[in-house]
Amino acid sequence: MEHPHLPTTEAAVTAIRKIADDYRLAMTVTDDIGADQTSRRTSAGVFATLDPDGSLPHEAFVELAGSPAVSVRVFPEDDAKITVDHVEFHDVPRDSVPAFLRSVYGGLAHTKGRFFPPGQWLIVPLPGDETYKELIADTTLTPWLARSARSS
């Protein structure tokens, strides 16, 4: 299944809002607009609001209430950082954000532990062959992460 193309940060926020509505989750959004406001625009001059190409970059931070605790930072460069119960997934393509969140809230995301090398992983499968996997750094699992455990 192909991901819908989300050409802008606003399109991604709209898609996240639809998922929040579908799963009855409260949602807050903080928008940072302008090169002087977005987190990755270090090359912009002081007080510069436009990128060198004249565009106005838009970054958004979205928090979804409930269990698990989820936040999404959508960057102007077509990617996002998604945090699920303190586990950070960096460089998720903006177009993959809705499928990622549906996997988390739809019960497909799960944890898996290994004896060697030791560790617990949060695994988020998406339609097709796309899967995201991150090591859970905190040794104490949140209740949601513990409930999501699957045996090897």
Quick: pLDDT tens for 138-151.
777 888 998 888 76
pLDDT score at 39: 54
Residue ranges making up the domain that contains 93: 9-107
Within a domain: 129 = no
40-66 pLDDT, tens digit per residue, is 444 445 544 544 454 556 688 999 998
Residue 111's pLDDT band, with cuts at 50, 70 and 90, is very high
> What percentage of residues in the chain have a pLDDT greater than 70?
76
Within a domain: 34 = yes
AA letter at 25: L
Q: What is the mean pLDDT of the chain?
A: 82
pTM: 0.81
- Higher per-residue pLDDT: 33 or 82: 82
pLDDT score at 104: 97
Segment 6-19 mean pLDDT: 90
Number of domains in the chain: 1
CATH, residue 86: 3.90.1150
Within a domain: 151 = no
Q: Left if phi > 0, otherwise alpha if psi is -120 to 50, otherwise beta: which for 93?
A: beta
Within a domain: 3 = no
Within a domain: 113 = no
Within a domain: 41 = yes
Residues ≥6 apart with Cβ < 8 Å to 139: none
